[in-house]
Amino acid sequence: MTVIDPLANLATLIRCPSVTPSEGGALSALEAMLKPLGFAVERVTAAEDGTPDIENLYARLGTDGPHLMFAGHTDVVPVGDEAAWTHGPFSADIADGEMYGRGAVDMKGGIACFAAAVARHIEKNGKPQGSISFLITGDEEGPAINGTVKLLEWAAAKGERWDACLVGEPTNPDKLGDMIKIGRRGSLSGTVTVHGVQGHAAYPHLADSPVRGILSLTQALMDPPFDAGTDDFQPSNLEVTTIDVANTAVNVIPAKASARFNIRFNDTWSVDSLKAEIIARLDRAGADSVLRPGRPPVKYDIVWSERPSHVFLTRNNALIASLSGAVEAVTGREPTLSTTGGTSDARFIKDYCPVVEFGLVGQTMHMVDERVAVADLETLTQIYETFISRWFGHAAD
């Protein structure tokens, strides 16, 4: 079975130009790797008005439990300035022990290694005592509407159930073995608009400056801190990302001012409790900081972004121990169990089964000259293979 070689698998995948939303041949290439291993492969195209149709793939080996899912994406971000690449972004060229190509680490590399790990497991032990599935989307780097969410719904509707999931996103900051993600912070954004009264800057008593109001309100959003963090999470943090007045005249008090903010929050909050806290802060600051002495409280409105990301933390010890034990057995390093960084598709999977994330070193992801150390591909394959053995061992206990 050639699938046992992660380097060959990755070269095949990199040569498919699967920039979101294009399938680029990548899912067909993966299908060709999985079918000889005995996987039943299904291709699922998802559509929704206003977004491009997206091809996805679901493949399962085995019919019994326990059931381990590997999740990821074959789509990649655009190459940027192609001329700036040392080797072509779809070349899979190897130089100085590194393979070049868009998606090398994010995350065709993870898929290439997991496929190789399954092939090796089968070669040594036969089919697993249970089931392994691949849930692979072509819409992770895009709007993520026709990807993992719909694929999970589709699979669950036809009776698929999972006991655990490993997401193969790049999780290591510097070296393979640094970090496993066992949860993710939530993310919530909003836009606050303060309405004032437009007027002449020399006659402020006839106007209400919304700029004064937006400054007070944004200050109240940023201070005091929302919490001090927990054992598992960093403190929640709100950043005001832009303040917009769009005023081109120096002698005009504008009519309104807006600010946008984004908060990354830990599990001391839910989306609802956080919204309530933010509104309480805005109401207080609005009441305390009239635009001019004698004026009524600052009037504002707030629009929340659609589809906030919910916070989650995985507490499945068998899953975490299988993975972190595998990392340590292969690399000799004890990985940090982390909840840092941005959101990932794990935020959707957590509604179906416990989920952890471990993949390659993320340093070059989304950059020109994205590349992966050839040695890391072999190491990650060994980690995944060890993880598979340990997880099925634990799950059978």
- Binding status of residue 107 toward Zn ion by CB under 5 A: yes
Span near Zn ion by CB under 5 A; candidates 54-62, 100-108, 128-136, 306-314: 100-108
Strand ranges of the sheet holding 131-137, from the earlier edge strand across to the other edge:
40-48, 51-61, 131-137, 67-73, 164-167, 355-357, 179-181, 336-338
Q: Site mask, Zn ion, residues 164-183, x = CB under 5 A?
A: -----x--------------
Least distance in angstroms from the C-beta of 177 to Zn ion: 19
- Binding status of residue 75 toward Zn ion by CB under 5 A: no
Distance CA 221, CA 99 (A): 45
Longest Cα separation, the chain: 84
**Are 194 and 257 in contact, with CB atoms under 8 Å apart?**
yes
> Is residue 140 annotated as part of the catalytic site, yes or no?
yes
Nearest to 113 by CA among 102, 121, 125: 121
Nearest to 368 by CA among 88, 56, 164: 88
User: Which one of the listed residues 5, 23, 98, 140 is annotated catalytic?
Assistant: 140
> Is residue 75 annotated as part of the catalytic site, yes or no?
yes
Least distance in angstroms from the C-beta of 341 to Zn ion: 11
Between β-strands 67-73 and 131-137, what pairing exists: parallel, antiparallel or unpaired?
A: parallel
Q: Site mask, Zn ion, residues 140-169, x = CB under 5 A?
A: -----------------------------x
- Of 169 and 178, CB closest to Zn ion: 169
Q: Pick the binder of Zn ion from 23, 106, 163, 345 (CB under 5 A).
A: 106
User: Which one of the listed residues 5, 23, 55, 75 is annotated catalytic?
Assistant: 75
CA pseudo-torsion sign 141, 114, 375, 18: negative
Helices (H) and strands (E) in the chain, counts: 9, 19
- Of 37 and 107, CB closest to Zn ion: 107
Least distance in angstroms from the C-beta of 360 to Zn ion: 10
- Of 74 and 133, CB closest to Zn ion: 74
**Are 292 and 208 in contact, with CB atoms under 8 Å apart?**
yes
Least distance in angstroms from the C-beta of 109 to Zn ion: 10
Could you list the active site residues? 75, 140
Which residues sit at the interface with Zn ion, rule CB under 5 A? 106-107, 169
